[in-house]
């Protein structure tokens, strides 16, 4: 079987919000793949193994083997899927809306998520809950304002976009860190609408091959 024809392989951790973004994109685009779980906590973190480091020198999930190449970084992966498998599209045709989608996605993947990921929280130690709540809340305050201008049914208008793929996993993180979602009605409404869609359900952390029994739904 040629490299291009081989089934894609996704290296993922059930709880990783970055992995979840890619799982949603694969589900929306109807791309079947094999999943290789990488447990970020077990064995001191399987992402630090020599084998995985050869796949992704950043020692992070997700990584996707597809079309004979290995890609890391969730947005780079999603952009590649968008360019090679354009239907359904995750970027609007209109340049202004497209820019808004990228802005919201970047806001989450650069401005919120890295500040409360596993590696950072390990360094913070005992204050990690307070730290995570603080950075998610300040990010959500800005995001709520932005979405009041861009949202329709979803983050930008009425079509599911790359921004939505970033939003849902970040709201799940907020809930895990017990962030009060009361001040963010727009984020809450959009998140609820997205979680009703099949692609968001099948890719959910509670339904992955590596989800622990007690967290399965």
Same domain flag for 103 and 195: yes
Flag whether 63 is in a domain.
yes
State residue 83 phi and psi, 5-degree precision: -80, -30
CATH code where residue 77 lies: 3.40.30.10
Digitized pLDDT (tens) for each residue of the chain, 217 residues in all: 555 578 999 999 999 999 999 999 999 999 999 999 998 888 888 898 988 888 888 888 999 999 999 999 999 999 999 999 999 999 999 999 999 999 999 999 999 999 988 889 989 989 999 999 999 999 999 999 999 999 999 999 999 999 999 999 999 999 999 999 999 999 999 999 999 999 999 999 999 999 999 999 8
Domain assignment present for residue 2? The answer is: no
Dihedral class, residue 176 (left if φ above 0, else alpha if ψ from -120 to 50, else beta): alpha
Pair 76, 108 in one domain: no
Say what the pTM is: 0.94
The answer to whether residue 52 sits within a structural domain is yes
User: Is 30 a domain residue?
Assistant: yes
Q: Are residues 165 and 193 in the same domain?
A: yes
Query: The domain containing residue 51 runs over which residues?
Result: 9-88
The domain that holds 148 is classified in CATH as: 1.20.1050.10
Cα R_g (the chain), whole angstroms: 17
Residues 84 and 111 in one domain: no
152 in the same domain as 118: yes
Same domain, 37 and 79: yes
213 within a domain of the structure (yes/no): no
In whole angstroms, give the CA distance from residue 21 to residue 160.
13
pLDDT of residue 1: 52
Residues 113 and 47 in one domain: no
Domain count for the chain, please give it. 2
Question: What distance in Å separates the CA atoms of residue 185 and residue 206, rounded to the nearest whole number?
Answer: 24
> In terms of domains, do 109 and 160 share one?
yes
Q: Do 114 and 194 share a domain, yes or no?
A: yes
Question: Same structural domain for residues 84 and 168?
Answer: no
Kind and range of the H or E run holding 66: strand 63-66
- Considering the domain architecture, whether residues 58 and 115 belong to the same structural domain is answered as no
Going 193 to 16 to 215 to 213, the CA torsion angle's sign is positive
For residues 110 and 191, state if they share a domain.
yes
């Amino acid at each position: 079987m040629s490299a291009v024809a081989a089934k894609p392989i996704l290296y993922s951790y059930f709880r990783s919000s970055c992995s979840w973004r890619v799982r949603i994109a694969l589900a929306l685009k109807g791309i079947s793949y094999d999943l290789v779980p990488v447990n970020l906590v077990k064995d001191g973190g399987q992402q630090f193994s020599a084998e995985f480091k050869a796949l992704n020198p950043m020692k992070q999930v997700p990584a996707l083997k597809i079309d004979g190449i290995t890609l890391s970084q969730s947005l780079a992966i999603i952009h590649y899927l968008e360019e090679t498998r354009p239907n359904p599209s995750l970027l609007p045709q209109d340049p202004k809306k497209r820019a808004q989608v990228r802005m919201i996605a970047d806001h989450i993947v650069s401005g919120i998520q890295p500040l409360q990921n596993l590696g950072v929280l390990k360094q913070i130690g005992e204050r990690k809950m307070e730290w995570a709540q603080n950075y998610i809340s300040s990010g959500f305050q800005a995001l709520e304002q932005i979405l009041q201008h861009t949202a329709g049914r979803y983050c930008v208008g009425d079509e599911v976009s790359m921004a939505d793929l970033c939003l849902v996993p970040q709201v799940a993180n907020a809930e895990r860190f017990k962030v009060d979602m009361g001040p963010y009605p727009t984020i809450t409404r959009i998140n609820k609408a997205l979680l009703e869609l099949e692609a968001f359900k099948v890719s959910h952390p509670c339904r992955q091959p590596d989800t622990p029994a007690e967290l399965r739904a």
